[in-house]
Each structure stands twice: as structure tokens, then as C-alpha cells.
Structure 1
Amino acid sequence: MNPIIEKEWQSRTNRTDDDTSSKLIQEGGYISPDPYLWEDVLVSIVLKKPVLLKGPSGAGKTKLAQTVSNYFNQPMQSVNCSVDLDAESLLGFKTIISKDGETMIEFVEGPVVQAMKKGHILYIDEINMARPETLPILHSVLDHRRMLTNPFTGEVIHAHDDFTVISAINEGYVGTSPMNEALKNRFVSFSVPYLTGEQLKNVLKEAHPNASGQLVETILHIGNDLKKQVMNGLLSDEAASVRSLLDAMALAEHMPMQRAIQYAIAEKLDDKIERRLVMELVDTWVK
């Protein structure tokens, strides 16, 4: 384990034992698809760099953020972006309350303000689905200043030393738009690919420990074939989602494989030709 990560981990968790690697990664459920991605993300976080996770739906971006949260024993505030996201959704809003018989205006702090003050992780999911004009309010939060002047209260907020920002995007999906360069340049960026091979097998077995070995192997074969077709450009990224494979496996323990794959994967694809291709791949493994 990188010394800077170990030092920060011990500081935040008040632990002094030597178990700072694989066991703690498993506590959050994320398995790194290569030998260095997990540690490189942690190094960036320890150095107070906002992290941007890029990858297809179901690749494990949210699971990675949750694992960082568990690793540092650090709560996480989440923002789910959409075209309706506004400054109040990020920073908070004013409301009228009654206290001691008097009517007062109180400010309810949003996830950004809470995370900055309390030293939590701020997880911004699908950041490229937000309207570009909404996010510049975060520029001073994401750069070296790590501060914010709340436009609703006038309060100047300086981030807690442990404050961390992790964002995630699905590139090229419907409803997304390219990130503003000024925003993108405030992040260090990591590609998060799908799991394959033994790593994917371990995830399937851990999620469904009572599943038969034959079922696990069949799902693995189907998953590998789906990924090949995604790489060949014949299927959408979501067809090879690990999340969808896990759903299919759960269903397949209680119904025929063809129906499980149809419900968990094929029916979620918009293109009729892609749906047919998925089912044809299943038929090569299930007689």
C-alpha cells in the first residue's frame, strides 16, 4: 500500500493495524479491474484532487465511491444530476419555521454545504446530465481555493480538511452533454472499465454464494460474449453491465436462463436488432 494512503487512512480511521489493502477494499464491495486503479484514485483523494470517474453504466463507479467512503470511514453526500438540478439542490434553501412561538426563516443546508463543513465525501453522479449553467457555482469548491460564498446566505464556507469530491459520468448517453472545459479541468480523470475474467467470477460468486458452479460459468460466458459485441460496436455499453449480469443471475436461480437474460438485459435495450442479438448469444450457451 502506498505510504501516503496508509498514513491518511490511519489518520482518518484511528487504526494502527497493517490491514490496509484488499480486506478494506472488499468492505465496500468494489474490486479494482487492474493493479493500480484503486490506489491511484486513493492517492488523488489524499492529495485533495477532485476525482472524475468515467465509464459505462454498471461498471462500478458508484460502488468505487462507496468503497472510498468505507475505506476512510467517511460519510458520503450524494447529488444525482439532471436537467432540473439547480443551485438550491446543491447548496440548500430557505424555509419558514415556527420556533418558540415565533416565525423565523431558516436555511436548510444542501449536500454541498454539508459535505464541505463536515468533511464528508461529495458524490456527484452523472455530472454531465446537469445544465452547464448550473455547475459553475462549484468552480471555487473544486479548485485550490476549496471555498464557497453561499449566494443564499452570504456565508463564506471553507472546506473541512477531509472534504472530498468524486464525480461520475456515462459518456455519450442520451441526455448528457460534454462537460464545460473549465469544469473538467478541475478534476483528475479515471476510466472505470467493466470487470472480466476471474474478477467478474468472484463478484458473481460473492453476490450469489449458493448459485451452482454451472450457473456462474454460464453467466460468465454470456457476459464475455456480450462484452465482445460491445467492443465490436454491435451492442450498446449497457448490454455488458455488471449490474445487469448480477440481476440476470439472481433471476436465473428461479427461472430459465433465457427469460432471466431477456428481463435483466435484452428488454432494457432500445434497438430491436440488439435485443435479438443478445438472445441469440444466450442460445449458444443454453440448450
Structure 2
Amino acid sequence: MITIGTVAANFTRDLEQNYATIEQYVAEARTQGVDFLVFPEAAIGGYLSSLGNHGDTQKNSTRSLPPAISLDGPEIARVQSIVGDLVVAIGFCELGEDGETRYNTAAVLDGNRIYGSYRKVHQPLGENMSYSSGTGYDVFDTPVGRIGLQICYDKAFPEAARIMALKGAEIIASLSAWPAARTATAENLQDDRWTYRFNLFDTARALENQVFWVAANQSGTFGSLRYVGNAKIVDPGGNILDTTLLGSGMAVAEVDIAESFTAMRAGMFHLRDRRPEVYGMLVEADTDPDTSADFAWRDLAHA
């Protein structure tokens, strides 16, 4: 048995405030016996202040970009000093090996070791004006299990979670700075269409891959973005074990990975029952995604 916690909280450019928030939730996690704690995307230094045509960019607005930090830098070391023996997933803006390129990154670590890191692959609404894209998905062996990492918009792509499940991920941590809709926002954000999508993706990705899905998200506001919270833990059957809903806070659940996998996968085991030989272009490398997608839509329209 392990206990999983996941956080909805607000993180800004104020690093000392970020560290204080991390300390707060680490202390709370310890009182509840949490073994693995997930913080949101951009928990060290905050996310972009806006997206789309008015988003932060290196050319236009370098002062508003989050600080770019190295995996072996003092910021990560500060987090490690806070978490101690607690295994944590956390998001930040990573400075690339060339000293210039930025990545939207998540790492899984404890006080003594960085078990692995992931650079966000899928970038929405002009995010690529501020970050370079990652190139793949790995899974990492940790004291609490085999963990996969993804960030925010990645959850809209089933291939991202599926490849980690095929690599043996038992837990997928999905770190987000997921906002409410930019237009026609619902008066109650829990009813907002982007909140609905966030929650639907979480349960669908857990169920289709039969893994534990741990979603963290920013809450509150930053710049023009209003975040929807809803940090949650989902079991391999797609059941939400605990959630923060809109507010800041921590969702917690005790899980038995081996027992749950045995129960959920004893009959219909989705990974075993795949038929990749009939999936066609879904499993073939595509050198021109835009053209391929265009042809696919034309084929469907004339089917």
C-alpha cells in the first residue's frame, strides 16, 4: 500500500512564495502519511501570464517569462532539501544544455535523487513561442512504483499516456496549469467547458490504460489565466478517489497498486487486447502531420 497526494495551488514568479507553498503541502502530506506527492506544472517560478497571440514570448516579453533553471541548480536542490524522503513530482521551466533553450519540464525526485525528468511534447496556443518541445516519453523506477510524467495539454493525446503504459507505468502524474475557457466562461468554473474537458481526460486516460492517474493543477489566477484546480487521483477503473475541486488544497488516497492491477486487469486487459496491426497510420511515423491530418479529415468527410 502507498498513499498518494496531489496539489492544487497557486504559483507565481515569487520563488520564496513557491518554496513556502511547497513546504506547506509537504508538511501536510507528512501528517497524512503520503508517500508520493504531485505538484502542478510550473510550481517553481510560475507559468506564462497568457496564451495565444498575446502570450509571453522570448522576443517580446522576456521579463515576464518564468526563471529558467537547471536540473542540477540551486532551485531544485532547495526543493530536495524541503521534501527529504518524500517522492515528489514537480514542474518548472528548465534551462537546456546550451544555456539558452527553455523547456516546460517536470521531474520526479526526493531529497537524495532525481529519478527522471520529462520535457513537455505537446504545446497549445502559442506556447512554442516560449518553450522548445520535448521529444519522447519515459517511465522511471522510484521507491513508490514505476512513474510516467506528462504535462497539461499532453493529456489530450491518448498516445502519450499509452506509450508510458506500454513501458510499464503504474502511476502517471499529469502536471498542469490548466485554465478556464478564454471565451464564454461559465459563471461557476466547475461547470466551465475546459474544466469538464480536464476532468474527462483524467478519467479517460486512467481507464483506457488501467493505471493510476494523478492530476495536479494550478489554482487561482496568474496574469490573464484563471485556473480550474481539480487536482485528483483516479484509479485504473476510472474512479475518482479524491479531488480538490476548484479550490486550493490536496487530494489524498491510499492505494494498493498490485491488488488494483490484478482486479482491474483480470478480465478485460486493454494493453493486452490491443490490435496494432489494424491501426494503420496511428502506429506509423508521420513525417508531415498537418498534411496527414488534412487527408484523414477529407477521407472521413467522403466516407
Provide the TM-score with structure 1 as the length reference: 0.29
Structure with more of its chain in helix, by fraction: 1
Asked which structure has the greater CA Rg, the reply is 1
Provide the TM-score with structure 2 as the length reference: 0.28
